[in-house]
Structure 1
């Protein structure tokens, strides 16, 4: 029999958490990577017997699927801390939208995306969803970085940076779909901003194009009680019901926030098999409300985790976001057993991949899937002793314990060091933007 081709890389952690099957922790296991895919998983001794070109011992480390940040606005990292401690509509209308109109251009997106990608890589995020302006520029930066992402084409009823109107945005989006159709790491979605910023005509255009291109739709929905009540007062219809009537809901629909969920909303989410992207820290900071994720989970709704943008969070730390989600779920459900540590990790990995339509490729450690893998170093003082490594990861660890990250088998973080970015140069560029914006920011 011909000998199997050598593994490109053999990883030897203390613990391996595949996420699928659920609730499993392997000790003294090995994971082998070949041609960007997971080619071997099994006991350490069997792994060492496999021919391999490189071996990496990871003592004290937990190996898991790369984290999936299912919602964010990457380039908004350059607005981090610009307008804090404000309610959503004041934050958005009086501060963020004016700042975007003044400052957002291709250079802003380029530098902001580099900052956001690097921050996410250092936090163990291998894949993220990005919804912001100049999506072609964002795609170029993601391509160069080696990260994996879903980019949403922004659609609003008024002019935005990079698009004269919604028709212009959609034309550019279709061109980008054609350009990136075969890209191995970047997928496209449509991103109508919210029910209160996009009218029926444009939503119907999005529905038609999404169906034609088999594309997902990501949208802020039921972010606040005010948004829902305003819609009911104006039309007698809740926003989610309106989206159902217009034909937007379905397995490819990603409903971001969903802090307001009544029985009818829950029934629609289940009926149409939508995913909900929970952004707990942004919701808490803007006092938007609490997404009832335990109730959604028990009903069978796929719930993923997103950081939202750094302008409203104020970081892109998905590990901390997941901890907050787990703790908040217990308080909202009134049950200490709600969203245990393994389920929390699943929301931050496989559920996120499923929401983005990428669960056949990423989100769990399985032979044949892409080698998007993160190593968490749990050997630090504050993490001892370790009875349950997954509980320790969710409830005690921070993103500073992320030591390595591979995307499609390529190392983007090695021993805590970015391989594709000059960190000092990123800081300098961000600081320069901060000085400019602070001097002329709207007050």
Structure 2
């Protein structure tokens, strides 16, 4: 009889939803993890015979799933949560958010705000997030230190901000950051051109060229409002997607955030280019920006990921809640009750995000050889009963607060609801200090 294989961690659970293969739920199985990588998904009886684990965790009332991928946000804006609610996008941005950022955004604010955001995301099951904000060096360092996986898209705009004087400085600093984290197994650095309406053609062309040379992602707000599309038609004679395509900016490296204003030509361009869409339903609803036609995009073979946007416009970073909203909204927009079923919504929040970020070979599903980015959700409380279908409970019953354990590359960042790499009490204290400064 062969000697047992040694592994670092064996997690036994009532249910495991691996996402790949699709639409499957495994009962009374276990995940074996060694070196931060998934070695096996097998029945618990087999796991006991086959593996000798340094640590065994029994989760008899839980579902194990891939860690959620929050494919769009502005993490540091968690410190601006609630300062300008119930306003249309242009007024919210121009009259409130940009002035507040101009006064308060600095390295300390970005570091503290990013840590607050990561703590909230971890506690609700997110293991990987995409961030686009000023002082991206601070966000990258904070994520690395907290052992959280992140895509950091350094911002590029035509005009000066707290982080730089204009495109030249943004490119210089951003490319240096890309080099600094080139060897990181957790941090990916990409390009963050803010939007077509804040950028002229030449910097956008440069983004397209450099992204292809470096095989680096491009993260951009696109078709967020009807006004954006109308102004593009007036100024450039074409819709924003067509303008980006003509500039070489639409490719499998491109992550198109929002896409609430979509017609058949946009769908064709996205499909032909291989670009991804990042859907932020709750932020779009709160700002009355419009509705992303998710099912139409999926039917056209376009990959759709899920994001929360920043806490200043959402106002939370709970991707579980976002899954429910996305599923319900897809049904209403398409007029089809079967649109974006529970398994599809979960896949969008995991593997869809991984694909958009170029990380599909590493995360997004619980497959042998992938990183052990795992979330455990307890389904024993009253509001989760009875459990006929654990995936339905995950998507439709507000499961964010039921997350108990989270691992990133096999390392626990949340154990029994306790943060392991971030100090909750310290973060609350810092947040209150920032509130006092900003509200003066």
Q: Same fold, TM exceeding 0.5?
A: yes
User: Which position in structure 1 is the counterpart of 2:40?
Assistant: 40
Q: Is the 8 A contact 2:393 2:399 kept in 1?
A: no
User: Which position in structure 2 is the counterpart of 1:29?
Assistant: 29
> Following TM superposition, by how much is the alpha carbon of 1:125 offset from its aligned partner in structure 2, in angstroms?
0.2
Matches within 5 A, 1:350-429: 350-429=351-430
> Following TM superposition, by how much is the alpha carbon of 1:230 offset from its aligned partner in structure 2, in angstroms?
1.1
> Separation in 2 of the partners of 1:68 and 1:284?
20
Number of residue pairs matched by the alignment: 439
Q: Is the 8 A contact 1:276 1:302 kept in 2?
A: yes
User: Which position in structure 2 is the counterpart of 1:18?
Assistant: 18
Matches within 5 A, 1:69-80: 69-80=70-81
> Separation in 2 of the partners of 1:413 and 1:172?
33
> Separation in 1 of the partners of 2:398 and 2:249?
39
Matches within 5 A, 1:164-179: 164-179=165-180
> Following TM superposition, by how much is the alpha carbon of 1:435 offset from its aligned partner in structure 2, in angstroms?
1.0
User: Which position in structure 2 is the counterpart of 1:105?
Assistant: 106
User: Which position in structure 2 is the counterpart of 1:310?
Assistant: 311
> Separation in 1 of the partners of 2:159 and 2:259?
24
Which deviates further from its counterpart, 230-239 or 98-107?
230-239
**TM-score scaled by length of structure 1:** 0.98
> Separation in 2 of the partners of 1:289 and 1:427?
34
> Following TM superposition, by how much is the alpha carbon of 1:397 offset from its aligned partner in structure 2, in angstroms?
3.3
State yes or no: 1:270 paired with 2:278: no
Q: How far does the alpha carbon of each residue in 1:81-130 deviate from its partner, in whole angstroms, 9 at most, with x for none?
A: 01111111111111111111100000100100110111111110000000
User: Which position in structure 1 is the counterpart of 2:138?
Assistant: 137
> Following TM superposition, by how much is the alpha carbon of 1:386 offset from its aligned partner in structure 2, in angstroms?
0.7
> Separation in 2 of the partners of 1:33 and 1:336?
39
> Separation in 1 of the partners of 2:5 and 2:177?
37
Which segments of 5 or more consecutive residues in structure 1 lack a partner in the other structure? none
> Separation in 1 of the partners of 2:115 and 2:187?
16
Q: Is the 8 A contact 1:383 1:397 kept in 2?
A: no
CA RMSD, Structure 1 to Structure 2 (Å): 0.9
> Separation in 2 of the partners of 1:286 and 1:140?
31
Q: How far does the alpha carbon of each residue in 1:361-380 deviate from its partner, in whole angstroms, 9 at most, with x for none?
A: 00000010000000000111
Helix, strand or coil: the match of 1:19?
A: coil
> Following TM superposition, by how much is the alpha carbon of 1:53 offset from its aligned partner in structure 2, in angstroms?
1.2
> Following TM superposition, by how much is the alpha carbon of 1:310 offset from its aligned partner in structure 2, in angstroms?
0.2
Helix, strand or coil: the match of 1:154?
A: strand
Q: Is the 8 A contact 1:405 1:414 kept in 2?
A: yes
User: Which position in structure 1 is the counterpart of 2:261?
Assistant: 260
User: Which position in structure 2 is the counterpart of 1:246?
Assistant: 247
State yes or no: 1:181 paired with 2:182: yes
User: Which position in structure 1 is the counterpart of 2:66?
Assistant: 65
**TM-score scaled by length of structure 2:** 0.99
> Separation in 1 of the partners of 2:249 and 2:5?
46
Q: How far does the alpha carbon of each residue in 1:417-438 deviate from its partner, in whole angstroms, 9 at most, with x for none?
A: 1011221110010011011101
Helix, strand or coil: the match of 2:7?
A: coil
> Separation in 1 of the partners of 2:283 and 2:226?
15
> Following TM superposition, by how much is the alpha carbon of 1:2 offset from its aligned partner in structure 2, in angstroms?
7.6
> Following TM superposition, by how much is the alpha carbon of 1:212 offset from its aligned partner in structure 2, in angstroms?
1.4
Q: How far does the alpha carbon of each residue in 1:375-402 deviate from its partner, in whole angstroms, 9 at most, with x for none?
A: 0001111110011110011001321100
Matches within 5 A, 1:297-336: 297-336=298-337
> Separation in 2 of the partners of 1:294 and 1:271?
17
State yes or no: 1:96 paired with 2:97: yes
> Separation in 1 of the partners of 2:400 and 2:90?
31
